[in-house]
Amino acid sequence: MASILHASDFHFGAKYKNYPPSYRELLEDYQKQCLTKLIDTAVEKEVDAIVFAGDFFDENNPKESLVHFVENELTKLEEKGIKFILALGNHDYAFDQKRLESPSLVILPSDRMDSITFSQWTLYGISHQLLWDKRRPAHLFKKVDDKFSLGLFHSVLGGEREDYLPIDLAEIDTMAFDYLALGHIHRPMKLSSHCLAYYSGALCGDLYSDGGFYHYVLGEKEALYISSPPFPIELMHYEITDLQEDLLSIEAREKEEIYLILEGSLDAKEELMLEHWKKNQDFPIEVRTVRKQKQELSPLLRTCKKIIEEDLHQLYEEDYLEWEREEIHAYFSTRREELFEELLRLYQGENHD
């Protein structure tokens, strides 16, 4: 049976500015793994074509090393006669097509809706003409035969104010594609339309979601989602309870490459401690902590605190402890903070002795 892979939003060459330089090579290798998975899956499943719905490159002038890597991967498709059909998006709309030449590669024109005919189906698609492209694909579409039809473009659902080849559900139904392969939204989803209309999501994953693509066999009721390799950086979400112990626990983690999010409440001293600790780490840290509120003391605790800090003469005069004046003064003056913390624990029910 004829089939296709539908992918989009590779953003090959993305700078990953939110990560330290030590992660850049890891992330570039990860992107290469995702493209290799897409190409190898196409060969394994013997599809007619990979249809790519825009933003293959993150910019329209990618590094030559990235272009060379793509050329090498496309040779796998050439050997099997599999087409790679690319509709350029808003990120790579002005890509110089002469830089990437392969018998398997077809880059759709930007000035018109083009059609490519296979034995059992016909593809209709268009590339972005500008960064902001307000043209509506429904106004450019004209069906040329009665074969199974597949639409391909980098588009956003929306009204007249949308800037990315906008389309709405009514227009999708009017165009009457059997399958519509869309890009731009980075999460996979099926649209509620009479035809099979899908956003494939981003080819590469991120901290919060996996990347992937769809495999569709012509005539089936649904497309099958296939995951790309997992994102190589682990999201570590930590709720601080004891700052010193928690930081030691983070340093003793098993996985080296992490993105840390810290939450909880800290006092001013702990905030300074955390800031100093952050400067010595080589992984990204997002701090979402809040300042601890000063605890409202009960009248009893306020009185105890006042006696310990200011009115030791009350202990002398009342003779509570049956100590000498000098003993009382030496003991309480050197243990004020310790004594008050003990009183606070007693008041909170943490010490039942």
pLDDT per residue as tens digits for the range 230-241: 999 999 999 999
DSSP strand E in 47-165: where? Answer: 49-52, 83-86, 105-107, 114-117, 121-125, 148-154
Residue 347 in this model has a pLDDT that exceeds 80 = no
> Which phi and psi (to 5°) does residue 68 adopt?
-65, -40
| 89-102 average pLDDT score | 93
For the chain, how many structural domains are there in total?
Answer: 3
Looking at residue 260, its pLDDT comes to 96
Looking at residue 344, its pLDDT comes to 67
| CATH code, 107 | 3.60.21.10
* Assigned domain for 353 exists: no
In terms of domains, do 201 and 315 share one? no
d(CA 45, CA 77): 12
In terms of domains, do 76 and 155 share one? yes
Average pLDDT of the chain is: 89
Residue 353 in this model has a pLDDT that exceeds 60 = no
Question: Taking a C-beta distance cutoff of 8 angstroms, is the pair 149, 178 a contact?
Answer: yes
Looking at residue 298, its pLDDT comes to 65
In terms of domains, do 38 and 164 share one? yes
Residue 320 in this model has a pLDDT that exceeds 60 = no
In terms of domains, do 178 and 122 share one? yes
Looking at residue 312, its pLDDT comes to 63
| 280-289 average pLDDT score | 93
In terms of domains, do 207 and 258 share one? no
| 192-202 average pLDDT score | 93
Query: What residue numbers bound the domain in which 340 lies?
Result: 299-348
Question: Taking a C-beta distance cutoff of 8 angstroms, is the pair 154, 128 a contact?
Answer: yes
Looking at residue 327, its pLDDT comes to 72
Per-residue confidence band for 226, with pLDDT thresholds at 50, 70 and 90: very high
